Amino acid sequence: MQFFEGSEKKIEVVLQPGQPSLRQLEQPFWHQIVAKANATILSSVHNEHCDAYLLSESSLFVWDDRFLMLTCGTTTLVDAVVSFLDRFPKQQLAMLSYQRKNEYQSHLQKSSFEQDLQALNQHLDGCCYQLGYLDGHHNYVYHLDRPFEPPQDDATVELLMYHINGDAAAYLRSNNQSLEGIRQRLNWSQLLPAFDVDDFLFEPFGYSMNAINGDRYATMHITPQENSSYVSFETNLPQQEAQQVLGHLLGTLQPDSYDLISFNQEQFLDHQPGVVCIDQAQQDLSCGYRMRFQHFVKPASACRSATRL
């Protein structure tokens, strides 16, 4: 059975005012940060506000005063964070948050979330939360325990989809897929019309996409394997624009279940008939964000056979 761990780890860091621009750092610095996570840079797009790097395992976005990095598979993102903190210690940080969701096969990971915390606590004074039931889908967040006032438009939403179905899912697992075919099915030209899009099709399958427009970003990663399919989409688009994209992705990929995670943005999606929310949590973080977590499930339409291992 072919398997790849699509579940991501995520770091976001904001520097204190007066620090040098992160975009002015030499390129070897970011290559070294990415290498510490056991990933590589595949390609990039740039505009006047942001540098977006597509990685062998997810994405890196760099603005003047902040950066955001996501990695999947068995990457060691916490090692990349520690390496960054060697250059920018906690006194130079305004905000830091580290997220990690539960994995399908956590025993294959190089570290647990608890071990990640031990590494971070050697450099930072932070606190952490678990949102979601331990025996179901859940998300961990660790953040620098320091007051921070994010800008009013600093809001993000994440849609994490499991067990995708339908024509688009079948195409993503097919031998005749192409980048253009995936773009048409996901409808980027209509959903993100003014964005510069950078995407990559992996062998034998798997898809990653970064898109930027000014200081706005979107990123998507698809692991379409039939028995463990996983899709993540994240953006800082305004609420109504984000809602349109999320609704299209749900309708196109038809997941059996999905998580909706947001920071300072409440989303009301047009769920398919029968879909129910079986878990939700909300937490106000001392770093200035309200984190919301919801897990949705649609009823099973048929009895499946067991998977032979």
- 3 state SS of 89: coil
Structural domain contains residue 4: no
**Residue 232: partners with Cβ closer than 8 Å, 6 or more residues away:** 6, 8, 70, 158, 159, 160, 161, 219, 220, 221
Q: Per the residue annotation, which of 50, 56, 72, 287 is the catalytic one?
A: 72
The catalytically annotated residue of 8, 12, 103, 158 is: 8
Instruction: Give the alpha-carbon dihedral of 168, 170, 174, 177, to 10 degrees.
Output: 0
Which has the closest alpha carbon to 259: 240, 288, 234? 234
Q: Which of 59, 208, 232, 262 is catalytic?
A: 208
Q: Which amino acid is at 288?
A: G
CA angle 140/277/169 to nearest 5° reads 85
Helix (H) or strand (E) holding 240: helix 239-253
How many structural domains is the chain composed of? 1
Active site residue 72: yes
Q: For the beta carbon of residue 154, count every other beta carbon within 10 angstroms.
A: 18
Active site residue: 143, 163, 221, 295, which one?
221
Q: Coil, strand, or helix at residue 118? A: helix
Choose, from 56, 58, 59, 229, the residue flagged as catalytic: 58
CA gap 36, 81 in Å, rounded: 9
What pLDDT is stored for residue 106 in this prediction? 63
* Residue 221 is assigned to a structural domain of this protein: yes
Q: For residues 12 and 22, give the distance between their C-alpha atoms in angstroms, rounded to a whole number.
A: 13
pLDDT in single tens digits along all 309 residues of the chain: 465 555 788 999 999 999 999 999 988 899 999 999 989 999 999 999 999 999 998 899 999 999 999 987 767 899 999 999 999 999 999 999 999 887 655 666 667 888 898 999 999 999 999 999 888 888 899 999 999 999 999 999 999 999 999 999 999 999 999 999 999 999 999 999 999 999 999 988 899 999 999 999 999 999 998 788 999 999 999 999 999 999 999 999 999 999 999 999 999 898 888 999 999 999 999 999 999 999 999 988 777 777 777
The stretches of 156-197 forming alpha helices (DSSP H) are 166-172, 179-186, 188-191
Rounded to the nearest angstrom, the gap between the alpha carbon of residue 118 and the centroid of all alpha carbons in its chain is 22
Spatial distance between the Cα atoms of 141 and 200, rounded to a whole number of angstroms: 29
CA atoms within 13 A on the CB side of 144: 23
**Is 58 among the residues known to form the active site?**
yes
Read off the pTM. Answer: 0.94
Is-catalytic flag, 7? no
Instruction: Confirm whether 306 is domain-assigned.
Output: no
Burial of 145 (0-12, 13-18, 19+ CB in 10 A): middle
pLDDT value of residue 108? 63
Is 247 within a domain?
Answer: yes
20 domain-assigned: yes
Which CATH number characterizes residue 99's domain? 3.60.90.10
Residue 214 lies in a domain: yes
**Residue 61 main-chain phi, psi, to 5 deg:** -120, 135
Integer Cα distance of 270 and 264 in angstroms? 20
Instruction: Evaluate whether residue 96 is within a structural domain.
Output: yes
Q: Domain range holding 51?
A: 9-297
Whether 303 sits among the annotated catalytic residues: the reply is no
Q: Say if 241 falls within a structural domain.
A: yes
